[in-house]
């Protein structure tokens, strides 16, 4: 009896078939699937720059620039000075580009109706649920430490600590702090500068090497621990502060990490959680909406030995080519009873 084909292979084959079908639908419009995706993104977001488009499309900025050059040459998009930042060239659709993008959108809906006619309403709902679950897992693991090593190596993250983390920590008496999912340590270094004795935990060796180098350059000491958050077990009751900054996980995994964080706190120690809110006006944070934070989610998953001190929404501004870009963050501060 032949072994069943692995599910991942079946998904991959189905995806290839759909991509070929989609390319065939786009052929009369003289567009490739990546070009069509860029037009759809501009139709939805109106005016944006290369860097932001690359993030929205989850692609390399140089590849997006090449696509934009092709579409500009075809008369479908324009590059204009961004009135919000005159150093930046914003992309926008021409009238012909809007017509072509609308045609692409019509084809998207046509393909959806084709699938629905064959799968039925119940089948479409089941498939959507299964794909959402798979996206959530892939979005959080992202193929593990090696992929995160490459991400940190290719494009280092901001070195500036989150102002909300510093605001909360500066109001507490400095002691031992645990930064779970510290990345390259921007918040760990900020806490160390406030006088905290910091242990930074992450599973990316490249990120922890970047943290080590930055700490040495600034004359700071931060203990770096390479570990997977889902397996890491800190010493119980050893820390006065535990930080989880932008750690978005499926609900069951998040509950486990919060329980571990609570166990690490000394009596009257504080847990600080900050991340992207589900109602953020931008598209920051994980692509899968189910991983974003809500007040109800954090309140429900908070371990019973912790009492909420603050649960607040805050607008955060992001630097780079779009310095005015904001996202809505959710801040939770809780104290161990």
More confident residue, 143 or 299: 299
Distant-in-sequence, close-in-space partners of 131: CB < 8 Å, separation ≥ 6: none
User: CA–CA distance from 253 to each of 10, 141, 323 (Å)?
Assistant: 27, 11, 33
Domains of the chain and any CATH numbers = 7-141 (1.10.10.10), 152-336 (3.40.50.150)
User: Would you state the structure tokens that stand for residue 29, as one six-digit string?
Assistant: 């419009």
DSSP, collapsed to helix, strand or coil, labels residue 273 as: strand
**In the block, which residue shows the tokens 């242990």?**
199
User: Would you state the structure tokens that stand for residue 91, as one six-digit string?
Assistant: 């992309």
Confidence of residue 140 (pLDDT cuts 50, 70, 90): low
For the segment 33-68, what is each residue's pLDDT rounded down to a tens digit?
999 999 999 998 877 888 778 767 766 667 888 999
Task: Enter the pTM of the model.
Answer: 0.60
With beta carbons less than 8 A apart as the criterion, state whether 39 and 31 touch.
yes
**Strand ranges of the sheet holding 222-226, from the earlier edge strand across to the other edge:** 222-226, 197-202, 176-180, 239-245, 265-276, 325-336, 306-318
- At 321 the pLDDT is 39
Q: Count CA atoms within 13 Å of residue 280 on its CB side.
A: 26
For the segment 190-227, what is each residue's pLDDT rounded down to a tens digit?
999 999 999 999 999 889 999 999 999 999 999 999 99
């Amino acid at each position: 009896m032949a072994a069943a084909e692995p599910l991942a292979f079946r998904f991959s084959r189905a995806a290839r078939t759909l991509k070929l079908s989609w390319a065939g639908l786009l052929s009369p419009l003289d567009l490739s699937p990546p070009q069509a995706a860029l037009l759809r993104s501009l139709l939805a977001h109106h005016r944006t720059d290369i860097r932001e488009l690359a993030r929205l499309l989850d692609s390399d900025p140089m590849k997006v620039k090449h696509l934009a050059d092709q579409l500009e040459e075809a008369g479908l998009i324009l590059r204009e000075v961004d009135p919000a930042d005159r150093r930046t060239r914003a992309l926008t659709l021409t009238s012909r580009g809007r017509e072509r993008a609308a045609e692409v959108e019509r084809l998207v809906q046509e393909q959806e109706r084709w699938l629905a006619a064959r799968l039925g309403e119940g089948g479409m709902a089941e498939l959507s649920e299964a794909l959402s679950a798979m996206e959530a897992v892939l979005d959080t693991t992202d193929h593990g430490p090696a992929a995160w090593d490459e991400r940190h190596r290719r494009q280092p993250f901001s070195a500036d600590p989150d102002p909300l983390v510093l605001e909360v920590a500066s109001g507490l008496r400095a002691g031992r702090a645990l930064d779970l999912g510290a990345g390259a340590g921007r918040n760990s270094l900020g806490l160390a500068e406030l006088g905290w004795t910091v242990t930074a935990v992450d599973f990316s060796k490249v990120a922890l090497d970047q943290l080590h180098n930055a700490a040495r350059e600034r004359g700071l000491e931060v203990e770096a621990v390479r570990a997977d958050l889902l397996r890491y077990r800190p010493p119980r009751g050893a820390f006065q502060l535990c930080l989880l900054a932008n750690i978005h996980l499926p609900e069951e995994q998040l509950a486990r990490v919060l329980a571990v964080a609570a166990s690490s706190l000394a009596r009257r120690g504080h847990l600080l959680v900050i991340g992207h809110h589900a109602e953020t006006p931008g598209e920051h944070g994980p692509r899968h909406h189910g991983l974003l934070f809500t007040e109800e989610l954090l309140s429900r998953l908070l371990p019973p030995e912790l009492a909420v001190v603050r649960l607040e929404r805050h607008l955060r501004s992001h630097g780079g080519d779009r310095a005015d870009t904001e996202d809505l963050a959710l801040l939770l501060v809780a104290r161990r009873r």
